[in-house]
Amino acid sequence: MKKIKKITNKIYILAYKEDVRQLENWFQQQGFSVSVCRRNYTQQELSFSTTIRALTNHRDAWSAIVASGEAGIVVESDFVPITEFGDAYAPFDPDISPIAVGWLYGGANLYRFDKGGYAIGHCSTAVALLITELAAPKLVKFADEEIKKSRGKYSIWDSYMSHGLRREMDVPTYIPFKQFGEHGGLSSNPEHKKHKIREWHQADILLGPLAFMPAYARGSVLRYRLLRLRANIRGLLRVFLGKYIAPCVFKSSDKKNMMIKFLFYKWFSRRKAFITTP
């Protein structure tokens, strides 16, 4: 297993008008090379939905990974990493999967394991992604196609992106064993609210303590703990309701024991990684 900092030291922080100095400074103090990607939107892009404008910003970071020729981590402005972020074990091994995207945060669905025992599945949101240099061009292609298809209108591209990468571009998408950080934003996306999509989402299980208090806590430890408890409960409910591993996926799998172990260790152990091999 490889630690995050052994795969890449490049962090790309996406921002528009947000103050990301705290996040930027923290990553720099951990030894990462940090680039803040602030998109200067054209007049046409300003007419796009906020979700598509966000996608253009992601595309800039993905293109920067292509140009660098090295793997990179792309995080949104309201991401709050765990304190041991750089020393945490990555959700995949690039020696096994040189073309891969690893979700470091997000609601997941487990599908199968690769030959190294790493979990492959679907993950929503693009709050924090570990992207290999060979996978980055695929993401740029996805963005170009999505922007053209949406014509600037509202799109939940981050909810189905991993499906497109796996099915259409042959890019394995890896899910986190436990979350490498938190979606710490203070407010929800008004477009999600308008389209009746759940307004809040936080990490189900964190890999460790956070580097700093997320904005949604509003400076209150009690509020932070209550919202974390809500996220824990929701995550566990997804397991029991068959939404983390769909019954049909479990039934057809030849690695049922591994799936059960993955869930047990995730929820009921202090393990930092899923290290059981196939």
Give per-residue pLDDT as tens, 220-232: 999 999 999 999 9
The residue assigned the tokens 């995050």 is 4
Say whether pLDDT at 192 is over 60. Answer: no
| CA 197/CA 31 separation, integer angstroms | 37
pLDDT level of residue 276 (50, 70, 90 thresholds): low
- Each residue's pLDDT tens digit, 215-266: 999 999 999 999 999 999 999 999 999 999 999 999 999 999 999 999 999 9
Tell me whether residue 44 is exposed, middle or buried, using C-beta atoms within 10 angstroms of its C-beta: 0 to 12, 13 to 18, 19 or more. exposed
Whether the pLDDT of residue 127 is over 90: the answer is: yes
Element housing 76 (H / E): strand 72-76
- Assigned domain for 276 exists: no
Domain assignment of residue 59, yes or no: yes
pLDDT at residue 187, as a whole number: 59
Amino acid at 77: S
How far from 11 is each of 36, 114, 140, 225, CA to CA, in Å?
8, 26, 17, 28
Strand ranges (E), 158-218: 173-174, 181-183
For residue 190, pLDDT beyond 70: no
Parent domain of 186: 4-268
- What pTM value is reported for the model? 0.92
Residue 93 clears pLDDT 50, i.e. is over it: yes
**Is the per-residue pLDDT at 100 higher than 60?**
yes
Contacts of 6 (CB under 8 A, 6+ apart): none
Distance between alpha carbon 256 and the CA centroid of its chain, in Å?
A: 25
275 within some domain: no
Task: Grade residue 166 by pLDDT with cuts at 50, 70 and 90.
Answer: very high
What's the mean pLDDT in 3-8?
A: 96
- Count of domains observed in the chain: 1
Kindly indicate the confidence band of residue 278, based on its pLDDT and cuts at 50, 70 and 90.
very low
The per-residue pLDDT for 4 is 96
First to last CA, the chain: 14
Percentages helix, strand, coil for the chain (3-state, rounded to 5) are 40, 20, 40
Half-sphere exposure of 104 (CA within 13 A, CB side): 28
CA–CA separation, 71 and 98 (whole Å)? 10
Question: Rounded to an integer, what distance in angstroms lies between the CA atom of residue 4 and that of residue 87?
Answer: 6
Domain containing residue 126: CATH number = 3.90.550
What φ, ψ does residue 257 adopt, rounded to 5°?
A: -60, -40
Q: What is the pLDDT of residue 124?
A: 87
d(CA 16, CA 21): 13
**Both tokens of residue 79?**
């991401």
Beta bridge partners of 81: 181
Q: How far apart are alpha carbons 28 and 223 in whole angstroms? A: 29
